[in-house]
Amino acid sequence: MREVRYWQALNEALREELDRDPDVFVMGEDVGIYGGAYGVTKGLYEDYGEERIRDTAISEQVIVGAAVGAAMTGMRPVAEIMYVDFLGVAMDQIFNQAAKIRYMFGGKAKVPMTLRTQGGTGRGLAAQHSQSLESWFLHVPGLKVVMPSTPYDAKGLLKAAIRDDNPVLFIEHKMLYGTKGMIPDGEYIVPLGLADVKRPGSDVTVVAHSRMLLYALEAAETLEKEGISVEVIDPRTLAPLDMDTIMTSVKKTGRVVLVEEGCKTGGVGGEIATRIMEEGFYYLDAPIIRVAAKDVPIPMSPALEPLAVPSVQEIIDAVKKLYV
């Protein structure tokens, strides 16, 4: 095992897949000579050349459309859209084309495309560059949605996404790139659709993804000192969602807090809460609590931005409410 940063884990995943499969290539704005907005593609252009590491025009429609076409004709493109906020420009290519082609052609055509992008707050980039829009894409059958929270998961999940024969939306939180974690020296894959119990506990289940997973772990550590044992689950893949792991925990604890950085209305937490109610209402000893972003555009102000999204203290307070 060795310690790497989140961005380095992603870079390693790309290198290993580029070496393994000649059909894999990377494309997007500034992914080549510049090395990516957050350094994820650093050094790839020099090592693999412009044919496989392609800088594109500043056009989300072109990037996604070209990736869909390349995937349909046998390639495995890894396309990057600089910020999840810009996916709206290419929505037709994503939800009407990439996600539906395999089904509409009866499996005779497929779209093995990975679409990398960045989401979340923390850098003061204002309302058009700081959103958490993952819940939009949970409503699109045929599209897989992945959000890794650790370097280990980032590498393993990206490799799995690139090898998948379906389109995968791979959302990286911009504040996780510098975080550190341990990964094995050898190759490994983290299967899509498999949640992970990041911290075992017995009193409360907290489900959190992406950067909120780190907040949940910090909250759990604090609560442990107060005698409350928190089990923290990271879905890792939001579509498909591993409800078996979540429900196993709910049966054990009987109390649930759902945490996300996206807005509460129409959010990921609402979907998970509903499925818990459908599949395990009688296991609950208290109402489900959601901790999510306020239903407001993300402020640019360094003083206001943190107030728009969940904090560690909000998670702690939510868990304590279950015992009132």
Catalytic residues: 60, 129
Two structure tokens written together for 320? 């304590």
User: 117, 168 in Cβ contact below 8 A?
Assistant: no
Two structure tokens written together for 161? 């996404």
- The whole-angstrom separation of Cα 149 and Cα 161 is 15
Best CA proximity match to 257, nearest among 265, 249, 131: 249
Four-CA torsion 248, 249, 251, 254, nearest 10 degrees: -160
- Type of residue found at 106: G
| Neighbouring C-beta atoms of residue 324, cutoff 10 Å | 5
Best CA proximity match to 162, nearest among 314, 13, 319, 312: 13
Cis peptide preceding 240, ω within 30 of 0: yes
- Whole-angstrom CA distances from 271 to 74, 144, 254 are 35, 16, 18
Burial of 74 (0-12, 13-18, 19+ CB in 10 A): exposed
User: 191, 160 in Cβ contact below 8 A?
Assistant: yes
Two structure tokens written together for 188? 């490994």
Burial of 46 (0-12, 13-18, 19+ CB in 10 A): exposed
Helix axes 6-20, 151-163, angle to 10 degrees: 30
